[in-house]
Amino acid sequence: MWQALRSELHPAGVEVVTVALDTGGADAARPWIEAARPEHPSLIDAAHVSDELLGFVNVPNAVWIDEEGVLTRPAHPAHVQGSGFADSPVPEGLPPRIHDMLVEVKKIPNHSDVYLGALRDWAQRGSASPWALSPAEVVARSQPRPPGHAEAAACFELGQHLWRQGQRDAAVAWFREAHRLQPDNWTYKRQAWTLATTKEGEASDLIQGPTDLYDGNWLDDVRAAGAENYYIAFE
Amino acid sequence: MILTAPRVGMDDLERRTGWAIKPQGACKAEVCVPLEPGTAEDGDVDVASFARQLRMPLVHDGDHGLWALGPPAGGRALSTAVAPELELPDLSGQPFALSSLRGQKVVLIAWASW
């Protein structure tokens, strides 16, 4: 998907850089990257450094950067393909949780046509594109960082550090605190949930169902937040 | 920023947070924040004092002897539109600096295996 985007935009002078936000590091991201055979830089962010620096709160998210190294779009949802589920009914016979997840996935807004149009326009016209924001707008539209969110970042970092050290009970406590302090940060939640539910040696668990470790899980939290709020709007 | 002691060397602090300790205070890009006496001495910084004055959370895990210094609170994720320096490894562990793409437009996309 990202390689196709790169193939389209690179002739217009745009480079695509992908960053895998995976506490599991290269091992977690490797199967997807190798399958994509990317020609663009494909980086691994095991410490979620870019979340904190740029304000990513879900994936896929993106920022746009101009030739001078200035951001022209702060963190935003980056859908370059329509949802495969949007226009088709949820198949019958699925396990109930997967069925219910797909029902919610169908409700998640996906404005890939608008986003791709904006991206193509910016690629061609640069700062003359109406989608390119001024530096002041970029800062103003970046994620707010009240004290609770800043503290959540510190808690999440502690959780990751302890998880990598094998101190998993201690890590979970800090992940829970990050979730409490910033409940709308899906990156913190999905990463912690999948660490808890992925079996050793298997691909990252996408279902992220209930566990004894966390109060929330993907399906219940999306229902509670409203699927329409899962991504901030791109406008 | 993870710490194993409540004091950190000035050089380490600058390398990991971008905040340089100078005679006029803690400085990053064009911003300098005056520091209270005693915050930075003999090449070291009292992290709790530094964090309080810069409105950065400092979270402590006493059981594991760890501290985590979070980002400045009260504003936005971005304090400037200048892209931050970001250097991350690729699959083979080779570091890649975002700034090496200066002169091209860049779409930086965060994704995950989960």
Over residues A38-62, the pLDDT tens digits come to 999 999 999 999 999 999 999 999 9
- pLDDT value of residue A6: 96
Distance CA(A142)–CA(B70), nearest Å, equals 17
Instruction: Identify the band that residue A88 occupies on the pLDDT scale cut at 50, 70 and 90.
Output: confident
Q: Which of residues 3-62 of B touch A (CB under 8 A)?
A: 55-59, 61
Write phi, then psi, for A20 (nearest 5 degrees).
-85, 115
What does residue A31 show for φ and ψ, rounded to 5 degrees?
A: -60, -40
Cβ of A158 and B61 within 8 Å? yes
pLDDT of residue B30: 80
Lowest mean per-residue pLDDT among A169-173, A199-203, B56-60, B102-106: A199-203
pLDDT surpassing 90 at residue A122: yes
Rounded CA separation B73/B25 (Å): 19
DSSP assignment, residue B63?
Answer: T
SS (H, E, C) chain A: CHHHHHHHHHHHCEEEEEEEECCCHHHHHHHHHHHHCCCCCEEEECCCHHHHHHCCCCCCEEEEECCCCEEEEEEEECCCCCCCCCCCCCCCCCCHHHHHHHHHHHHCCCCHHHHHHHHHHHHHHHHHCCCCCCHHHHHHHCCEECHHHHHHHHHHHHHHHHHHCCCHHHHHHHHHHHHHHCCCCHHHHHHHHHHHHCCCCCCCCCCCCCCCCCCCCHHHHHHHHCHHHCCCCCC
* Of B62, B54, B97, B58, the residue nearest B79 (C-alpha): B54
- A-B CB pairs within 8 A amount to 243
CA distance A70 to B105: 9
Enumerate the residues of chain A whose CB falls inside 8 A of the CB of residue B101. Answer: 15, 17, 41, 65
Q: Do A13 and B105 touch (CB under 8 A)?
A: yes
What single DSSP character describes residue B4? S
From chain A, pick out residues whose CB is under 8 angstroms from the CB of B61.
Answer: 158, 162, 170, 174
Strand partners, B82: A70
Q: What is the pLDDT of residue A203?
A: 85
Give A103-107 contacts, CB < 8 A, sequence gap 24+: A104/A219, A104/A222, A104/A223, A104/A227, A105/A227, A107/A227, A107/A228
Tell me which CATH code domain A147-229 carries.
1.25.40
The domain A2-83+110-141 is placed in CATH, from the list 3.40.50, 3.30.70, 3.40.30, 3.90.320, at 3.40.30
Instruction: Give the residue range(s) of CATH 1.25.40 domains in chain A.
Output: 147-229
Domain boundaries for CATH 3.40.30 within chain A:
2-83+110-141
CB contact under 8 A, A64 and B112: no
How many Cα atoms within 13 Å fall on the side-chain side of residue B54? 29
Q: How much is the average pLDDT of B66-77? A: 95
pLDDT tens for A173-205 read: 999 999 999 999 999 999 999 999 988 888 888
A2, A17, A124, best to mutate vs chain B, most B CBs in 10 Å: A17
Give CA–CA dist A201/A28, Å, rounded.
9
User: What was the ipTM of the complex prediction?
Assistant: 0.94
More confident residue, A201 or A156: A156
CA-nearest residue to A218 within chain B is B114
- Please tell me if residue B70 touches chain A, with a CB cutoff of 8 Å: yes
Token pair belonging to A133: 């924001």
Rounded to two decimals, the pTM is 0.93
What's the gap in Å between the CA of B45 and the closest CA on chain A?
19
